[in-house]
Every structure is written in C-alpha cells, then in structure tokens.
Amino acid sequence: MLRRRWVDCKRRESLNEMDGSRHPLALPVSIKCIIGDIILGSEDDAASDSYIEVKVPICFYDVLAHHFSLEPEHGKPILVLIVQLWSQPFASHIFALLFHKWLFEVELESSDVLLRYSSALVQGATNYLLADVALVPKRLKKIPLQSQRDLFLLLSRFIFLYNLVDQIESFFKNFPEFPNAFLVGGPADTFVIELTDQLQKLKVEPVLLHYLSHIKVLQGLELRMTTSTRLKTCLYSFTSPGGPMYPTRAVRHAAWDALDFLFPVGRYPRHIISIFFRLMYPWYWPSSCWNFVLSCIQAILHSILSRIFPSHKLRDPHQS
C-alpha cells in the first residue's frame, strides 16, 4: 500500500537517468522529490484516505520507512546502530533512507538530537534517492529553521527537474526567512540564484534542455537588478558555441529562446552582437550556413504543410 502521489513521483524520476550529476548507485526515487511534496503538499492530502493499492516496484526502504513512521518503537534499535556509526560518511544516507518519514512523526525531547537528525536528512538528500511521502508544509516547522532553509535551497536547484513549476507560487509562499534577505532579496531572488548556480553545473544536454524549457515560468517575477543580471548572464553563457560552457546547438537555441522571452528588451542588439562575434571565428561559418539553410527549408515546408493540412497540429521546426 502506497500513497497516491508516489506514482507521480516515479514519473518525475524518469529524468534522473539524464542527470549526469547523480550518484552512480542512486536508487529509484529522489528524496528531492520527497522534499518537494513536503513543501508543496496540501493538508487535503494528509486528511484524505490516500492509501491505495499500486502495482509498481517498491524498494525495501519504502516498506521500512513507512513501518517506522507507524511504529516508531520498532526503529529505535536500528537508530541506535546508525548513531554508533555517525562518523561514517554513509550513516546520513542510511538515516535519510529509513527515517525520512519517522523524523516528521515523532516528538524529540532534545533540540540537539533534532538538529543532528535534520542535518543528516539534508546531507542524505543531496546524493541519494528515495520514495515519495505526502507531508503537509506545516510539518516542516518541526525541524530547525536552518534545516528548513537547506531543504528549500535544495529544492530550488531541482524543482525544474521534477516538473513542479506549476507549484512555484506555493513554494515561494512557504519559503523560510533567510538572515541575508536584506542583501540577497526575497524568495524569488534566492530561488533564481540557486537555479542559476545549478544551471552552470549541468553538463548533460537533455537535462539542460529540460531546465531551459521550464525557465520561462520565471517571467513576471519581481527580481532585484543584481539577480536579474545574474540570470541574464547565465543564459547568455549558453548562447556561444565555445567556452566556457561549450553548449550544443540545441542548447544554444533553447538559451536564446529563454533569453529573448524573459528579457525582450535589447533582443535585437544581442543577436547583432552575437553575429559579429561569430564572424570572428571563420571555422564556424560552414556549419552555421548549413544549419541556416536547413532551418529555412524546414520553415518553408512547415508553412506549406500547415496550409495543406490546417486541421493537423504540426511540430514547430524551431523546437526540433
């Protein structure tokens, strides 16, 4: 028996295969997806009879984590062993796998113990994958404020990967306060800063395209000038064929589309400057001309076919 949202989380995890930054021994469902549902979940999920039978593969830690949340006493012997191995690098990952539900269900008397467990959850969340758990946002108040901040920063880097862009408003609403907010800005600024840092680290083309296809949701956000410039610079770095990013042609076009959509002012001067810089590298001319000819042919064919078959929805050649 699993919670209903576990199925949605499994669908999101199909993108994990594309992410080259994942741990090679990563398990099927990400704890980042769990954190997304912890933060973005609703109280209706907790109040509803959400137990249904789902015939999908289930990992051993799914069963144990759910069991320990229902029977906290049964998890204490294992928790004692984990505490004895606390200095080992894998201890936090095991704790995150087995006790990510338990942590939000039990009442811990010592604030130091709660801080230790919360830190282990965040550390385990950075590298390992877990099954989904439907938790309401108010349960995050049970863990220390710093751990809440770390979880939100973590989800800011991966919210696009797990297709949670439609819940960004709820995400910003539950965003915790940061001590440097007067310097950095509000939740939107913090989110964009973490997102741009993550984009600069991505090297896998499908993941980059996925991020760039969702980044248009940022249109309309009230950002500080420094944050807006940071985002613009990040996108512009993916528009050049050379270093430091060395993006593919598909990534360059996706970056141009996102840049023009989010920052329409100065669109044409940017493209003119880009053309002049491309002229400085003559070894790119043959491929650029060939791709330009192919794009023109595709556009003409698309226009002709759309007139012949107006009832059929044809794929835009610019999205290929």
- How long a stretch of residues is the chain? 320
Please give the structure tokens belonging to residue 182: 């007067």
Cβ–Cβ < 8 Å for 58, 171: no
CA gap 285, 135 in Å, rounded: 54
Q: Which residues contact 20 (CB under 8 A, 6 or more apart)?
A: 202, 203, 204, 207
Q: Tell me, what DSSP letter sits at residue 88? A: S
CA gap 153, 159 in Å, rounded: 10
Q: Which of 76, 195, 63 is nearest to 131 (CA)?
A: 63
Q: Print pLDDT tens along the chain (320 aa).
A: 334 444 444 444 444 444 444 443 344 444 445 445 544 554 454 444 444 344 445 777 778 888 888 888 888 888 889 888 888 888 888 888 888 888 888 888 788 888 888 888 877 776 554 334 333 466 667 778 888 888 888 888 888 887 878 878 888 888 888 888 888 889 999 999 999 999 999 988 999 999 999 999 999 899 999 999 999 999 999 988 776 778 888 899 999 999 999 999 888 888 888 877 777 777 777 877 887 788 788 888 888 888 887 766 655 555 54
Cis peptide before 244 (omega within 30 of 0): yes
CA gap 317, 314 in Å, rounded: 9
Backbone angles phi, psi at 268, to 5 degrees: -70, -45
Cβ–Cβ < 8 Å for 178, 148: no
CA gap 254, 219 in Å, rounded: 16
Residue 94 Cα to chain centre, angstroms: 23
Interaxial angle between packed helices 111-125 and 91-99, expressed in degrees from 0 to 180 and rounded to the nearest 10: 100
Output the DSSP codes for 294-308: HHHHHHHHHHHHHHH
Cβ–Cβ < 8 Å for 176, 39: no
CA gap 129, 197 in Å, rounded: 21
Backbone angles phi, psi at 2, to 5 degrees: -130, 165
Residue 185 Cα to chain centre, angstroms: 21
- Tokens 């001590």: give the residue: 179
